[in-house]
């Protein structure tokens, strides 16, 4: 049985590292001409990439029959690729050849360490590294004890290995610096059995996702902390987002974006008002633009009676729009029962972090102005919503809103595993610990 790595699924990377000298000799090319040499020095694609390329070619040949497929369509190509990955990890789990990377100091480019051999084996099993003829020869020399220091060495962290590590890090949402630190080692050492649980959980969630996501839609992937604009099966735009904390989880939902609000006011949820804001004191709240409003929307004083009414739900705490507002200058309405929306934020520094689960459930946007320009691009005459107009609408404190002529589908999903547009399997941490429950 073959797989996307280009070799039988029962053949482990450890077995690849013990190829015979005769086999290596058969694979060595004849004396290369200058032109041939230029070609052979090009970095070889990983076997997984080659298989993906063949798959994309086949998809292209069948494009007339599959024009509705998107990389993120649950029952289209994405779902089929995830099933293939499930089969690959089942085989990897069954062979018993998988071994974790031993603990130790971080591995960085240029070092020599016996653990580098184990690192190579893992990356080959995962499809992030190919076994070149030179490295196979070096492995045989190391095994025989005749090390030629002018040749590549299997325990040397070289450039090819660095590229494999960085590719692995990108697929797992880690900083792609080539350094195998604890976080990278932990990802490398996640067993095939654990990955199987992740894949099964995500396949189950995909079955709960609308089959038709739409030709143009916004996709928020909670564990990846990203928002993507997908159009005509291609990613058109991407930005970082902040999602809900573990105790204030952002829910999965499918809806539409119907309205953009400029300089939004913030009607504070009662629990946040009572637990987080009122303890700051009414003077602080007043200076920051907060006021109490009754059920008719009229402002009322911060009196003892009104504060008691706030606790009972008869009065609400609201912050005026404009500078200093917790929602920033933009709010994007996506009707849903959980009262979730997308919005700007005052805490821009959080987007520089790798882990970004800090909100009370709503989705904070790294670049809300750009998103507003995108969703309003076809609103009215061409070029109507340019930077100058957006700047006018977000100056001062006046709150205004614009209904979208063509609402855009929005899907907030929880994908800890998916195959991207390059055909690469991605994993992300299960930040809400949902995979086990879904798999069960």
Mean pLDDT to the nearest integer, 308-317? 93
**Residue 145: partners with Cβ closer than 8 Å, 6 or more residues away:** none
Strand pairing report for 266-268 and 299-300: unpaired
- In this structure, the number of other CB atoms found within 10 A of the CB of residue 95 comes to 16
Architecture per CATH, 211-439: Beta Barrel (2.40)
Q: How far, in Å, CA of 409 to CA of 407, rounded?
A: 7
pTM for the model stands at 0.79
pLDDT band at 439 (very low <50, low <70, confident <90, very high): low
Mean pLDDT is lowest, of 180-184, 231-235, 302-306, for: 231-235
Between 314 and 15, name the one with better pLDDT.
314
Tokens of 416: 């800890």
pLDDT band at 213; cut points 50, 70, 90: confident
Predicted confidence band of residue 382 (pLDDT cuts 50, 70, 90):
confident
Determine the straight-line distance between the first and last CA of the chain, rounded to whole angstroms.
28
For residue 437, the model assigns a pLDDT of: 74
Q: Name residue, tokens 């690469």.
A: 424
pLDDT at 72: 56
Q: Tell the burial category of 124 from Cβ atoms under 10 Å away from its Cβ (0-12, 13-18, 19+).
A: buried
Q: What is the mean pLDDT of the chain?
A: 83
Amino acid 121: pLDDT: 94
Residue 400 predicted with pLDDT over 60: yes
pLDDT computed for residue 151 by the predictor: 54
Give domain 13-195's CATH architecture: Orthogonal Bundle (1.10)
Domain ranges in the chain are 13-195, 211-439
Region 334-357: mean pLDDT is 96
d(CA 253, CA 410): 8
pLDDT in tens, 40-52: 344 445 545 544 4
| Phi, psi torsion values for 353, nearest 5 degrees | -90, 155
Please report which confidence band the pLDDT of residue 402 belongs to, taking 50, 70 and 90 as the band edges. very high
Which range has highest mean pLDDT (15-24, 127-136, 205-214, 272-281)?
272-281
> What's the pLDDT band for 97 if we cut at 50, 70, 90?
confident
DSSP summary character for residue 156: B
pLDDT at 15 over 60: no
């Amino acid at each position: 049985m073959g797989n996307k790595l280009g070799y039988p699924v029962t053949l482990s990377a450890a077995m690849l590292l013990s190829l015979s000298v005769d086999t290596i000799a058969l694979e060595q090319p004849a004396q290369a001409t200058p032109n041939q040499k230029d070609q052979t020095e090009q970095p070889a694609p990983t076997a997984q990439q080659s298989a993906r390329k063949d798959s994309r070619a086949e998809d292209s040949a069948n494009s007339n029959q599959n024009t509705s497929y998107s990389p993120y369509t649950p029952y289209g190509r994405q779902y089929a690729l995830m099933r293939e990955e499930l089969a690959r990890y089942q085989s990897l789990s069954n062979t018993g050849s998988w071994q974790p990377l031993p603990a130790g100091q971080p591995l960085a480019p240029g070092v020599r360490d016996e653990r580098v051999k184990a690192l190579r084996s893992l990356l080959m099993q995962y499809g992030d590294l190919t076994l070149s003829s030179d490295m196979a020869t070096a492995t045989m020399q190391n095994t025989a004890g005749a090390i030629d220091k002018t040749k590549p060495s299997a325990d040397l962290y070289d450039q090819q290995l660095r590229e494999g590590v960085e590719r692995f890090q990108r697929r797992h949402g880690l900083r792609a610096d080539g350094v195998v630190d604890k976080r990278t080692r932990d990802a490398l050492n996640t067993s095939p059995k654990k990955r199987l649980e992740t894949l099964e959980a995500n396949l189950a969630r995909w079955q709960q996702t609308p089959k038709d996501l739409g030709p143009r839609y916004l996709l928020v992937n909670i564990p990846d902390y990203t928002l993507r604009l997908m159009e005509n099966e291609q990613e058109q735009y991407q930005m970082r987002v902040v999602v809900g904390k573990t105790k204030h989880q952002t829910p999965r939902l499918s809806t539409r974006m119907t309205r953009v609000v400029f300089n939004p006011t913030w009607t504070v949820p009662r629990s946040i008002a009572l637990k987080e804001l009122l303890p700051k004191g009414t003077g602080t709240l007043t200076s920051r633009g907060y006021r109490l409003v009754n059920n008719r929307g009229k402002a009322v004083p911060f009196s003892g009676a009104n504060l008691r009414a706030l606790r009972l739900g008869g009065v609400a705490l609201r912050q005026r729009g404009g500078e200093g507002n917790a929602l920033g200058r933009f709010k994007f309405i996506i009707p849903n029962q959980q009262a979730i929306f997308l919005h700007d934020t005052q805490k821009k520094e959080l987007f520089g972090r790798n882990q970004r689960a800090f909100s009370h459930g709503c989705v904070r946007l790294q670049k809300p102005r750009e998103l507003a320009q995108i969703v309003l691009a076809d609103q009215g005459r061409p070029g109507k919503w340019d930077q100058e107009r957006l700047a006018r609408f977000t100056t001062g404190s006046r709150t205004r809103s614009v209904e979208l002529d063509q609402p855009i589908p929005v899907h907030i999903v929880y994908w800890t595993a998916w195959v991207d547009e390059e055909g690469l399997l991605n994993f992300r941490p299960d930040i809400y610990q949902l995979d086990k429950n879904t798999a069960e």
